[in-house]
């Protein structure tokens, strides 16, 4: 798959007025500061490549269990979550979760023994997942309640990355990893805190920096909030003030105006976009163009809503990407959920989603899209 980046002229990305700019995350140069957030069930390798092509500067895998990797010698079970497509999606981060520093150490070594996975550009540590079965084991956002353990996990992970770099490019299990002698950066994603009584994101960010993280992402909600309520952007500003490493702000960026507001109100270095990017890869075109102050009517990227034809073509492309990866049956089942996102905000979306949910084959999805397009055309004409 071709990556048409950068579609924003350099004169825009480097201009002092532009809110879009490259980011240096440790040794890694990222072309712009708008990233796709990790999302289990959505941000797989197919969708990440699409979002990169649409302008996301960085993409992240969904969370993958560090212990799971340690107990999966051929990485067969973890592969669905770990898979990356280096030629189509770099720079890409692999996100790990767990609670035992040794698991992270071993998982990172294991990843870098693999000919494809070793080409990831970053390792990201999940310290923000709110899900009960994750926090029950002391993982995800539970680590915000145990900063010393979080620090040991970061240090163990960095030790693994340093050993990989020291192993060199010429020989040894890590040869060709592209990381020789330069330590691959490590990043951490966390929340505002566990609950309103224990907000500790700024201190936690400092701990990450002191333990060696090259950047952090702050999702501006507590664990108790899960995904509800408003994200508190003031905590993003506080985290930015607390550290000198780059900070990605996350939570409630839904379009170009909110992207601009988050950057201006918090002074944060970059943005990470989650739910608003589900079924809406165009959001990266919209936001990167707007932040670069590209003229609205000038030549360059598409700035409005996708046409029904563009939407249908993207769905077909996404579906075929999944089929090539996981086979028709699973691909169609997975695509049904994504289809609901793609149809969000279109006329009679609930009605059409119900019909889409019945599709079991690629042919049925394509027939559904043909009917849907006809109806959209009909609505436009009448």
Ligand X SMILES: Cc1cc2nc3c(=O)[nH]c(=O)nc-3n(C[C@H](O)[C@H](O)[C@H](O)COP(=O)(O)O)c2cc1C
Task: State which of positions 164-223 bind ligand X (CB under 6 A).
Answer: 189, 219
| Residue 179 Cα distances to 26, 27, 83, 112, angstroms | 12, 10, 19, 9
- Provide the mask over 82-101, with x wherever binding to ligand X is found by CB under 6 A and - wherever it is not: -------------x------
Task: Quickly list DSSP for 310-334.
Answer: HHHHHHHHHHHHHHHHH-HHHHHHH
Name the H helices within the chain.
10-13, 45-53, 66-70, 79-82, 86-89, 101-113, 132-135, 147-167, 201-211, 233-242, 256-266, 282-291, 308-326, 328-342, 349-356, 362-381
Question: Active site residue: 70, 120, 129, 208, which one?
Answer: 129
| Residue among 312 and 339 whose Cβ is closer to ligand X | 339
End-to-end CA distance of the chain: 38
Position among 26, 128, 202, 281 found at the interface with ligand X (CB under 6 A): 128
Stretch that binds ligand X, among 167-175, 197-205, 245-253, 262-270 (CB under 6 A): 245-253
Position among 273, 319, 331, 369 found at the interface with ligand X (CB under 6 A): 273
CB of 205 to ligand X, least distance (A): 15
| Residue among 150 and 165 whose Cβ is closer to ligand X | 150
Task: State which of positions 22-81 bind ligand X (CB under 6 A).
Answer: 37-42, 62-63
Asked if residue 115 lies in contact with residue 106, where contact means CB atoms within 8 angstroms, the answer is no
CB of 43 to ligand X, least distance (A): 7
CB of 258 to ligand X, least distance (A): 9
225 part of the interface to ligand X, by CB under 6 A: no
DSSP three-state, residue 155: helix
Report the C-alpha gap between 325 and 322 in whole angstroms. Answer: 5
Position among 13, 65, 250, 280 found at the interface with ligand X (CB under 6 A): 250
> Catalytic annotation on 70?
no
Written as six digits, the tokens of 289 are: 């163009």
336 part of the interface to ligand X, by CB under 6 A: no
Give residue number: closest CB to ligand X.
274
Contacts of 289 (CB under 8 A, 6+ apart): 8, 55, 256, 300, 301, 303
126 part of the interface to ligand X, by CB under 6 A: yes
> What amino acid positions are annotated as catalytic residues?
129
Catalog residues that contact ligand X under the rule CB under 6 A: 37-42, 62-63, 95, 126, 128-129, 189, 219, 227, 250-253, 273-276
């Amino acid at each position: 798959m071709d990556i048409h980046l950068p579609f924003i002229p350099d004169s825009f990305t480097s201009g002092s007025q532009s809110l879009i700019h490259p980011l240096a995350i440790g040794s890694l140069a990222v072309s712009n500061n708008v990233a796709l957030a990790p999302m289990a069930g959505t941000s797989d390798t197919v969708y990440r490549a699409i979002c990169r092509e649409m302008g996301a500067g960085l993409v992240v895998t969904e969370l993958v269990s560090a212990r799971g990797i340690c107990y999966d010698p051929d990485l067969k079970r973890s592969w669905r979550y770990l898979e990356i497509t280096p030629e189509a999606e770099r720079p890409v981060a692999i996100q790990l979760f767990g609670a035992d520093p040794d698991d992270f150490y071993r998982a990172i070594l294991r990843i870098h023994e693999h000919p494809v996975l070793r080409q990831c550009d970053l390792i990201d540590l999940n310290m923000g997942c709110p899900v009960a079965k994750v926090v029950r084991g002391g993982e995800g956002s539970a680590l915000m309640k145990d900063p010393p353990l979080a620090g040991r996990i970061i240090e163990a992970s960095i030790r693994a990355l340093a050993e990989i770099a020291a192993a060199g490019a010429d020989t040894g299990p890590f040869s060709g990893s592209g990381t020789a002698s330069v330590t691959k950066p490590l990043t951490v994603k966390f929340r505002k805190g566990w609950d309103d009584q224990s907000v500790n994101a700024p201190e936690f960010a400092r701990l990450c920096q002191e333990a060696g993280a090259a950047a952090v992402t702050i999702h501006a909600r507590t664990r108790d909030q899960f995904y509800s309520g408003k994200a508190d952007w003031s905590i993003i500003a506080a985290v930015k003030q607390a550290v000198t490493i780059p900070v990605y702000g996350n939570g409630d960026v839904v379009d170009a105006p909110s992207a601009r507001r988050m950057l201006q109100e918090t002074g944060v270095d970059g943005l990470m976009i989650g739910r608003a990017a589900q079924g809406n890869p165009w959001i990266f075109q919209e936001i990167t163009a707007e932040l670069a102050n590209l003229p609205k009517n000038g030549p360059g990227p598409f700035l409005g809503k996708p046409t029904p034809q563009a939407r249908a073509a993207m769905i077909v492309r996404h579906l075929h990407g999944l089929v090539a990866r996981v086979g028709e049956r699973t691909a169609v089942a997975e695509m049904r959920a994504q289809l609901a996102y793609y149809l969000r905000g279109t006329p009679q979306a609930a009605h059409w989603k119900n019909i889409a949910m019945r599709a079991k084959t690629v042919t049925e999805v394509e027939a559904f899209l043909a009917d849907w397009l006809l109806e959209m055309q009909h609505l436009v004409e009448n």
